[in-house]
């Protein structure tokens, strides 16, 4: 049976796979404060890969900029320019005021009381209850030097949400400069396969101070680039490594299944499509129907291949239970 080219087939399937991690519903808690009134924290956590540690962006001016800053972080994460991030808005619980207002100063001035609340009370609580990485970022309209010691400052500006998002994008790009791997114009992913991707993220781990696993999209796109460059064997090794490191990600198995199918290995393709289908169904992923169709196609092809070597065809392979 003729198979589509590996590069074209993989790129087609991968176009269905890219998505940004969805956020769980905001968690709103009241945190007692030794410095004064209780604080209200609104915590937005993306549904990131299991075991991933995430930097935390603290909004010292309260929840008014939560949507705009979260949109900036998600957009950059989708493009591979930064990791997914937890965003925490901090304000005084009793009146919806920011900690800066509680300290009797304008929100833009970021007084020492704000730093004390963030560093001594808010950050330890967040890090004890969420998968926080060793990077604290404070966002607000104060001067760039207003961040507590050891924190990174993210200056915000503007009244309308698009202006705030633009300021956040610029600041986050500065903080995470060099996070993503370079992709040349016209390419679909970085060159060098899994080895280059893993080396890049080892260097990021050393630079930022926490383990940064190679993300699934980076490995997948590196494999696609190898396929486009004509290195079918290298592409397959990279996609196998991707599925091994990201065994819970449907897309990793789906793209590997497509690689096996394009390479004339229907039995292996069936196994990977089945994994992708089952994982997608459990996650209520809308791509589950696509993986099911691919699985059924691989089942039929595996049966044809098997029947060509036997005097009687085997019984139909079992499909996953619904």
**Amino acid 107: pLDDT:** 40
DSSP one-letter code for 145: G
Q: How far apart are CA 76 and CA 53, in angstroms?
A: 17
What is the share, in percent, of the chain residues with pLDDT greater than 90? 64
Q: Are residues 108 and 199 in the same domain?
A: no
* Predicted TM-score of the model (pTM): 0.78
Q: Are residues 163 and 42 in the same domain?
A: yes
Residue corresponding to tokens 């980076």: 218
Q: Are residues 123 and 42 in the same domain?
A: yes
Q: Between the CA of residue 150 and those of 60, 121, 157, 166, 291, what are the distances in Å?
A: 16, 16, 23, 25, 46
Q: Are residues 212 and 282 in the same domain?
A: yes
**Amino acid 309: pLDDT:** 63
CATH of the domain at 237: 1.25.40.10
| Radius of gyration in angstroms for the set of CA atoms belonging to the chain, rounded to a whole number | 24
Phi-psi region of 310 (alpha: psi -120 to 50; beta: other; left: phi over 0): beta
Tell me which of 147, 175, 203 is where a domain ends: 175
Q: How far apart are CA 45 and CA 84, in angstroms?
A: 9
Q: Are residues 140 and 249 in the same domain?
A: no
Arithmetic mean of pLDDT, 244-271: 94
The mean pLDDT of the chain is 84
Strands of the sheet with 152-155, listed across from one edge: 27-33, 36-44, 86-92, 54-59, 132-140, 152-155
Is the Cβ–Cβ distance between 70 and 87 less than 8 Å?
yes
Q: Are residues 75 and 136 in the same domain?
A: yes
**Amino acid 320: pLDDT:** 53
Q: Are residues 39 and 165 in the same domain?
A: yes
* pLDDT tens column, 89-113: 998 876 555 555 444 443 444 445 5
Is the Cβ–Cβ distance between 147 and 138 less than 8 Å?
yes
Q: Are residues 165 and 218 in the same domain?
A: no
Whether residue 181 lies inside any domain: the answer is: no
Q: What share of the chain is helix, strand, coil (3-state, %, to 5)?
A: 50, 15, 35
DSSP one-letter code for 122: I
Q: Are residues 128 and 213 in the same domain?
A: no
The b/e string for 71-93 (b: 16+ C-beta within 10 A; e otherwise) is bbbbbbbeebbbbbbbbbbbbbb
Tell me which of 134, 149, 175 is where a domain ends: 175
Is the Cβ–Cβ distance between 212 and 205 less than 8 Å?
yes
Name the residue range of residue 164's domain: 34-175
**Amino acid 270: pLDDT:** 94
Q: Are residues 195 and 281 in the same domain?
A: yes
Whether residue 186 lies inside any domain: the answer is: no
* pLDDT tens column, 4-60: 445 544 544 444 344 445 556 789 999 998 877 889 999 999 987 777 899 999 998
Tell me which of 148, 175, 202 is where a domain ends: 175
Complete DSSP assignment for 40-64: EEEEE-B---TT--EEEEEETT-GG
**pLDDT over threshold 90, residue 243:** yes
Residue corresponding to tokens 């009244």: 159
Question: Residue 41 pairs with which residues in a beta bridge?
Answer: 29, 90
Q: Are residues 138 and 209 in the same domain?
A: no
Number of folded domains that form the chain: 2
**Amino acid 316: pLDDT:** 46
Q: Are residues 217 and 123 in the same domain?
A: no
């Amino acid at each position: 049976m003729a198979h589509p080219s590996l590069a074209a087939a993989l790129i087609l399937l991968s176009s269905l796979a890219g998505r940004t991690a969805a956020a769980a519903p905001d968690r709103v808690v009241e945190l007692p404060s030794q410095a004064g009134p209780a604080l209200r924290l609104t915590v937005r956590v993306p549904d990131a890969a299991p075991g991933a540690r995430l930097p935390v962006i603290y909004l010292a001016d309260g929840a008014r900029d939560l949507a705009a800053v979260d949109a900036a972080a998600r957009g950059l994460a989708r493009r591979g320019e930064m990791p997914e991030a937890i965003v925490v808005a901090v304000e005084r619980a009793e009146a919806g005021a920011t900690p800066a207002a509680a300290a009797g100063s304008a929100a833009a001035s970021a007084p020492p009381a704000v730093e004390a609340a963030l560093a001594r009370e808010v950050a330890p609580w967040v890090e004890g209850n969420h998968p926080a990485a060793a990077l604290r970022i404070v966002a607000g309209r104060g001067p760039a030097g207003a961040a507590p010691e050891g924190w990174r400052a993210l200056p915000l500006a503007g009244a309308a949400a698009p202006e705030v998002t633009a300021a956040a994008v610029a600041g986050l790009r500065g903080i995470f400069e060099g996070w993503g791997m370079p992709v040349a114009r016209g390419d679909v992913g970085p060159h060098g396969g899994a080895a280059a991707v893993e080396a890049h993220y080892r260097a990021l781990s050393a630079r930022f101070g926490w383990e940064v696993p190679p993300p699934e999209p980076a490995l997948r796109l590196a494999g696609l680039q190898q396929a486009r460059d004509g290195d079918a064997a290298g592409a397959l090794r990279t996609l196998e490594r991707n599925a091994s490191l990201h065994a819970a990600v449907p897309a990793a198995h789906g793209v590997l299944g497509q690689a096996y199918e394009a390479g004339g290995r229907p039995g292996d393709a069936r196994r990977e499509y089945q994994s992708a289908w089952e994982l997608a169904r459990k996650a209520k992923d809308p791509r589950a129907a696509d993986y099911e169709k691919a699985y059924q196609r691989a089942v039929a092809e595996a049966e044809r291949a098997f029947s060509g070597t036997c005097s009687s065809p085997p019984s139909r392979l079992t499909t996953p239970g619904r």
